[in-house]
A and B are shown apart, each in its own frame.
Chain A
């Protein structure tokens, strides 16, 4: 039961992170190492606004997501966009950004572990297992978000443009789609998704300035397993890894430390056996 709950929550959270990460890679070929750092900043944001300032939790969440998105857009405009066609430079820049955000958090909040109160208390029991209402709430909200992003991508004009751009930038250009504007919008959506994930999952987590690393590794594993650039792949792979993780933690009592290595092993195995992932698109040269 625990595995089911944890697996579902971790899986859906990973899916949100991985989809955001895939989106901006697909549209602008940006590998954003700072993706989960944005997730961390949003989690700290909700801690700061709701615990330190005593604001309403929902309001804190909205402010955090908006704040993180703003940082993301500014960083993109002034740092990433000018060097975007240099994949290596982008990688280094986003990695530096992640560490920079980590140091800022360390300065502002120290390295102490922090936690955020549950928004709703209480639990109920099913077959002897405790299920907290907070867990249920988080899962529900994340699912709604997944549905919303699916709707955006599959059913709207913007979503069509994003998917077209992800597949063939040049032809998308020929359809009148403005590449740099779409890249900016996609980046904002991607960072907002990371921020949102951090804000909703925050109450179930212990916050610390290094909390971006582990999800980064696992998210990368998800993206590799699902196939870089494939939204559907990210989604399915996220749940596979979410459950694997929960299972590891369940079977090996001290397993929490194994989460990262297990993800890495899966990633390496996939890269060795099926580099394009489950649903990978073997990227065609653009010309």
Chain B
């Protein structure tokens, strides 16, 4: 397994966000994590990429309430649950966050360079930049544009492109299609399939279950911080209860 989450638990004060979940992603897989709003999908991604621990440290300093974080996360054979967020990126576990969050005041190109912050060399980063431009030609056309002025779809392309600049082994993408037009959604999903084709392992959080289940190798269904089902898309859709109650189909 490239990524293994073992008995992860996240609590904010008394609220239990993640209640003892375990899951794994193998090299080359496209795995989805689906479930209703507020199920804890984003929190799971934030926990494995070190952001929950970072927030915990900030809260500790401001004595603003406590975060409880427990469990083992292994990536590429090494434990990373004690590694700070900015180091986890270096190891190849990269998060493309919810709501895209480009640096709105920076240009498209500056955003991409920010993604290459840990780049090993300028030549290597330039190679990666060209790859990103090949994948998302619109970013090349708009490279000098201030990111805040891009459309939602373009911002999502930028967010994915920025994440790709750091050469991820595992790319976590949080709700890339939310808020986009149907046409744009399809384009985003096509790009994700292209990434998979390039050999990048992907953990995808999505609402758009019917489309996603056609793309993925395996899926986990999360509800109220617990994994309540897992399997292939077909298997999950066969189960009436899961389909109606958790996937809203």
Contact = CB atoms under 8 A, between A and B. Distances in A.
Nearest to A284: B104
A163 interface: yes
A85 B85 contact: no
B103 A173 contact: no
A160 B110 contact: yes
Nearest to A279: B105
A175 B51 contact: no
Contact of A175 (B50, B59, B87, B117): B117
Contact of B103 (A83, A84, A85, A164): A164
Contacts of B51: 170, 173-174
A84 to B, nearest CB: 7
Interface stretch (B90-98, B201-209, B238-246): B90-98
A178 interface: yes
B89 A176 contact: yes
A167 B105 contact: yes
Contact of B118 (A85, A172, A176): A176
Interface residues of A, number: 23
Contacts of B61: 82-86
A143 to B, nearest CB: 25
Contact of B114 (A82, A83, A160, A179): A160
B213 interface: no
A168 interface: yes
A281 interface: yes
A157 interface: yes
A149 interface: no
Contact of B166 (A160, A172, A175, A178): A175
A174 B166 CA distance: 10
Nearest to A230: B105
Interface in B40-91: 49-51, 54, 58-59, 61-64, 84-87, 89-90
A174 B85 contact: yes
A12 to B, nearest CB: 24
B86 A161 contact: no
B131 interface: no
A163 B106 contact: yes
A92 B177 CA distance: 45
B85 to A, nearest CB: 5
B86 A177 contact: yes
B101 interface: yes
B104 A174 contact: no
Nearest to A178: B86
Is the interface on chain B under 10, 10 to 19, 20 to 34, or 35 or more residues? Answer: 20 to 34
Contact of B86 (A157, A160, A167, A179): A179
Contacts of B87: 176
A171 interface: yes
B117 A171 contact: no
A85 B166 contact: no
A167 B106 CA distance: 9
A177 B115 CA distance: 10
B221 to A, nearest CB: 24
Contact of A168 (B49, B59, B101): B101
A173 B110 CA distance: 16
B86 A85 contact: no
A177 B166 CA distance: 12
Interface string A68-95: 0000000000000011111000000000
A12 B94 CA distance: 42
Nearest to B50: A173
Interface in A135-187: 157, 160-161, 163-164, 167-168, 170-179
B173 to A, nearest CB: 12
Contacts of B189: none
Contacts of B104: 167
Q: Which of B50, B86, B87, B106 has the most CB of A within 10 A?
A: B86
A179 B51 CA distance: 12
Nearest to A157: B117
B113 interface: yes
A174 B168 CA distance: 12
Interface of B: 49-51, 54, 58-59, 61-64, 84-87, 89-90, 94-95, 97, 101, 103-106, 110, 113-115, 117-118, 162, 166
Interface of A: 82-86, 157, 160-161, 163-164, 167-168, 170-179, 281
25 contacts: A82-B61, A83-B61, A85-B61, A86-B61, A160-B106, A160-B113, A161-B114, A161-B117, A164-B103, A164-B114, A167-B104, A167-B106, A170-B54, A173-B51, A174-B85, A174-B86, A174-B94, A175-B86, A175-B89, A175-B114, A175-B115, A175-B117, A176-B89, A177-B86, A178-B86
Given A85-B58, A175-B117, 5 more contacts: A86-B61, A160-B114, A170-B54, A174-B86, A177-B86
The 6 A-B residue pairs with the shortest CB-CB distance, nearest first, are A85-B62, A176-B118, A176-B89, A85-B61, A173-B85, A175-B117
